[in-house]
């Protein structure tokens, strides 16, 4: 059955609040993993119809990456078919504005080196109809910063979760330029900070927890130290793990918002059902993040 998991709004002091003001509403979709098999296109279409039939329709859809399935592992023709399916569903079933970010599965490359990954990002951005892999824009009374958290792993193992030096410099300038009264939401594909990563596979071995850089941002400490300078950074959303959590740290809520595809279109992934998040951003800086399932 379709349902919701409700989490309360929080002020910067961590107190639960309810704002009477009209919010800017976002539907956050992530990890659709479009593929030509097992009904992915029909499932994604169903999700979009569920979003657009909410009593209060969203002002915007945010896709935080992994629109398609494992582009870099198949031939280019396989990725082309997946992108065609993705864009056909978007064209036919979505009338709400959408902005999109890159996930690791969106990037096709001949070989796992930085130059090829960059070319793969350019192709994915063309398919997603976005000009840049990271960007910043106003959302009502709030401000959005969308990061590109897929960086080449210079040890030769495909990718890792972090932002490069140029993007970090850009992020510092952006945060400095945003008025202090304007609340900020950060979007990344890979979580900056997460709890559910500890339960994604066998992560505890030989008396220690092992969290790969592909699971959570390698530069989380640097980002934490940057965000603490800007109390107007309120919320950071992500996907990638296909699990659902919310971590409160230093006045920021880090929400990992499940996956539209659940267990890659094979039901629930652990305890998390296929779904999306409804995010209401209030002018006073409060918000709600409600995970919503769409299967009935």
Q: Higher model confidence: residue 83 or residue 21?
A: 83
Q: How confident is the model at residue 163 (pLDDT cuts 50, 70, 90)?
A: very high
Mean pLDDT over 191-207 rounds to 91
Mean pLDDT over 153-167 rounds to 86
Copy the structure tokens of residue 182. Answer: 């304007």
Q: Which domains does the chain have, with CATH numbers?
A: 18-293 (3.60.21.10)
How high does pLDDT run on average in the chain? Answer: 91
Answer whether residue 123 shows pLDDT above 80: yes
pTM confidence score: 0.92
Mean pLDDT over 32-53 rounds to 95
In this structure, the strands spanning 16-17 and 9-10 are antiparallel
pLDDT tens for 54-109 read 999 999 999 999 999 987 777 889 999 999 999 999 999 999 999 999 999 999 98
In this structure, the strands spanning 159-161 and 150-152 are antiparallel
Answer whether residue 259 shows pLDDT above 50: yes
pLDDT > 90 fraction of the chain, expressed in percent and rounded: 77
Answer whether residue 8 shows pLDDT above 80: no
Please, are residues 237 and 187 in contact by the beta-carbon 8 Å criterion? yes
256-275 in b/e burial notation, b at 16+ Cβ within 10 A? bbbbbbbebbeeebeebbbb
- Strands (E) across the chain are located at 3-5, 9-10, 16-17, 24-29, 60-63, 98-100, 135-139, 142-146, 150-152, 159-161, 184-187, 204-205, 208-209, 233-238, 244-249, 252-257, 275-281, 287-293
The pLDDT score that the predictor gives to residue 128 is 97
CA torsion sign for 259, 265, 268, 270 is negative
Please, are residues 50 and 29 in contact by the beta-carbon 8 Å criterion? no
């Amino acid at each position: 059955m379709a349902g919701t998991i409700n989490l309360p709004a929080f002020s910067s002091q961590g107190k639960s609040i309810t704002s009477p003001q009209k919010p800017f509403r976002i539907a956050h979709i992530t990890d659709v993993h479009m593929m030509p098999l097992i009904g992915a296109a029909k499932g994604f279409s169903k999700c979009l119809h569920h979003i657009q039939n909410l009593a209060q329709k969203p002002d915007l859809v945010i896709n935080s990456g992994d629109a398609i399935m494992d582009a870099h592992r198949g031939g280019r023709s396989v990725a082309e078919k997946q992108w065609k399916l993705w864009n056909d569903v978007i064209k036919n079933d979505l009338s709400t504005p959408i902005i999109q970010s890159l996930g690791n599965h969106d990037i096709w490359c001949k070989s796992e080196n930085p130059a090829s990954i960059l070319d793969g990002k350019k192709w994915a951005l063309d398919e997603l109809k976005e000009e840049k892999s990271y960007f910043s824009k106003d959302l009502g009374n709030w401000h959005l910063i969308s990061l590109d958290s897929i960086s080449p792993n210079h040890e030769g193992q495909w990718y890792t979760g972090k932002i490069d030096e140029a993007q970090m410099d850009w992020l510092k300038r952006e945060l400095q330029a945003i008025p202090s009264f304007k609340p900020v939401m950060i979007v990344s594909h890979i979580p900056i900070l997460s709890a559910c990563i500890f339960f994604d596979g066998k992560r505890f071995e030989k008396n220690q927890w092992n969290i790969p850089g592909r699971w959570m941002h390698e530069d989380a400490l640097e980002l934490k130290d940057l965000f603490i300078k800007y109390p107007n950074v309120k919320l950071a959303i992500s996907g990638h793990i296909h699990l659902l959590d919310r971590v409160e740290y230093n006045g920021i809520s880090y929400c990992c918002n499940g996956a539209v595809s659940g267990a890659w279109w094979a039901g629930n992934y652990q305890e998390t059902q296929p779904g999306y998040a409804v995010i209401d951003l209030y002018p006073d800086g409060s918000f709600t993040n409600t995970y919503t399932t769409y299967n009935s």
